[in-house]
């Protein structure tokens, strides 16, 4: 047994008082969970502490909270690990972010999380005719969508989604992972329509900024951002959807810039995002319009000496030898007959395997995208702040 101090964020909507901190000391084995700590405090000292919880085993998804500022399931975080992440020897537990607080650690999931889930037409639109027996589907397809089926709707990813913080309309990581569960399911009849819908929505798949927060937050290895990237690859690579938000062109501009220069060149990114790779792309009217829009930002940047005109306009280039390496990656990846889609359910977390798969993922995704989107096989669970 060891003693741990929990500092809980409390809020009683009926009191008229502001939220406050409430500390309790609990006695438990160090590898018991933060949830067990909270339940002990509730049983021994204060029955009014409110937290949703049910299974205690990271399956039901009820107890999403923030522990020392990081989103996690309370039942899935050991007390000793939580203590290591604490600033002042006290484990701090708060309600999740991006959702309104109802009482203490309970947030309004319906107002945000479930509303977004409902946005993605969250049910199978079965291919017709429905067979008499089962649909014949490749084993790999079902294992593939199992990763997004493994989502327990806990809201941890929604809690810390940076894009959603800026744009509350963003459909968000959990709902888009749910969308992949249908887009990746060969039995669904409307994969193209789903992709078009999610690509054309200004708050859709191109609203994600690749920040990886949701991958860190997810207690079930769903890697929502990876599912979002898969949606993008299906939309742009397989179905050649060019969306009105310019998401597809913007992404392909990244890819071509890295191929040409080995490093991002922001001044060229804007025209390429609108006009494509050719020199004349610079004269695309939309590029001009956005340039004019951006003038105040550019002016500020220059005034504050964040950049000089020379630095902005001169092409950014890696040394030739490095650039050659980059091009080799492109040749390898683009020469593949099939896209690599690594999946946690296949690759696992194992250390020996993770090296291979991480390398493969980098190779598969090229410079414009990232290793982790293939199911974060390279990331050991120990490295995740929530574990």
Binding site for other proteins (CB under 8 A): 12-14, 31-32, 42-44, 46-48, 50, 52-62, 76, 78, 102-104, 106, 109-110, 117-118, 122-124, 126, 130, 133-139, 141-143, 145-146, 149-150, 152-153, 181, 185, 187, 220-221, 344-348, 350, 381, 387
DSSP calls for 40-62: HHHHHT-TT-------SSSSS--
Residues 6+ apart with CB under 8 A from 264: 254, 257, 258, 316
| Residue closest to 193 by CA, chosen among 141, 239, 229 | 239
Question: How far apart are the C-alpha atoms of 299 and 306, rounded to whole Å?
Answer: 10
CB of 102 to other proteins, least distance (A): 6
Report, in angstroms and rounded to the nearest whole number, the Rg of the chain calculated over CA atoms. 24
Dihedral through CA 218, CA 179, CA 61, CA 12, nearest 10?
100
State which residue, 98 or 357, has the beta carbon closest to other proteins.
357
Least Å from the CB of residue 124 to other proteins:
3
Residue appearing with tokens 């194992």: 350
Contacts of 359 (CB under 8 A, 6+ apart): none
Q: Which is nearer to other proteins, 145 or 158 (CB)?
A: 145
Q: 3-class SS at 325? A: helix
- Minimum distance from CB of 345 to other proteins (Å)? 5
- Smallest distance from other proteins to CB 1, Å: 14
Task: Name the residue nearer to other proteins (CB basis): 104 or 243.
Answer: 104
**Cβ closer to other proteins: 117 or 253?**
117
Give CA–CA dist 190/126, Å, rounded: 8
User: Per the structure block, which two tokens stand in for 76?
Assistant: 């899935």
Give the residue from 346, 89, 39, 87 showing the smallest Cα distance to 221. Answer: 346
For 300, other C-beta atoms within 10 Å of its C-beta total 10
Q: How far is CA 164 from the centre of its chain?
A: 11
Of the pair 101, 307, the CB lying nearest other proteins is at 101
CB of 180 to other proteins, least distance (A): 12
Beta-sheet pairing, 101-103 with 20-28: unpaired
Least separation in angstroms between residue 355's CB and other proteins is: 16
CB atoms under 10 Å from CB of 18, counted, come to 6
Which of residues 95 and 247 has its CB atom nearest to other proteins in the complex? Answer: 95
Q: What is the largest CA-CA distance in the chain?
A: 72
Nearer to other proteins, 122 or 288 (CB): 122
If the CB atoms of residues 266 and 351 are measured against other proteins, the closer one turns out to be 351
C-beta of 245: minimal distance to other proteins in Å?
Answer: 27
Q: How far is the CB of 136 from other proteins (least distance, A)?
A: 4
């Amino acid at each position: 047994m060891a003693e741990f101090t929990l500092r809980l964020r409390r809020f009683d909507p009926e009191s008229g008082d502001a939220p406050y901190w409430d500390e309790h000391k609990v006695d438990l084995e160090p590898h018991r969970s933060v949830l067990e700590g909270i339940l002990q405090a509730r049983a021994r000292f204060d029955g009014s502490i409110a937290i949703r919880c049910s299974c205690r085993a990271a399956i039901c998804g009820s107890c999403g909270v923030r522990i020392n500022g990081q989103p996690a399931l309370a039942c899935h975080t050991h007390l000793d690990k939580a203590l290591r992440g604490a600033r002042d020897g006290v484990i701090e537990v708060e309600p999740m972010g991006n959702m309104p607080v109802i009482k203490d650690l309970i947030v309004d999931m319906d107002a945000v999380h479930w509303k977004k889930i409902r946005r993605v037409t969250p049910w199978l639109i079965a291919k017709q005719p429905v067979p008499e027996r089962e649909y014949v589907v490749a084993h790999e397809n079902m294992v593939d969508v199992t990763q997004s089926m493994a989502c327990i709707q806990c809201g941890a990813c929604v809690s810390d989604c940076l894009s959603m913080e800026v744009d509350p309309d963003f459909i968000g990581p959990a709902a888009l992972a749910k969308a992949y569960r249908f887009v990746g399911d060969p039995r669904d009849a409307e994969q193209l329509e789903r992709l078009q819908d999610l690509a054309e929505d200004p708050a859709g798949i191109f609203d994600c900024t690749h920040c990886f927060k949701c991958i860190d937050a997810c207690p079930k290895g769903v890697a929502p951002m990876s599912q979002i990237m898969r949606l993008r690859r299906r939309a742009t690579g397989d179905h050649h959807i060019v969306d009105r938000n310019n998401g597809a062109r913007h992404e392909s501009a990244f890819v071509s810039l890295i191929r040409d220069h080995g490093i991002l060149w922001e001044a060229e990114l804007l025209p390429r995002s609108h006009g494509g790779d050719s020199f004349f792309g610079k004269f695309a009217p939309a590029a001009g319009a956005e340039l004019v829009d951006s003038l105040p930002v550019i002016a500020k940047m220059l005034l504050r000496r964040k950049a000089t005109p020379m630095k902005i306009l001169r092409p950014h280039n890696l040394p030739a030898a490095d650039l050659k390496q980059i091009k080799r990656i492109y040749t390898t990846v683009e020469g593949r007959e099939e896209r690599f889609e690594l999946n946690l359910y296949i690759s696992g977390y194992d250390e020996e395997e993770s090296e291979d798969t991480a390398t493969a993922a980098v190779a598969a995704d090229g410079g414009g995208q990232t290793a982790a989107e293939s199911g974060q096989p390279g990331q050991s669970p120990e490295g995740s702040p929530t574990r």
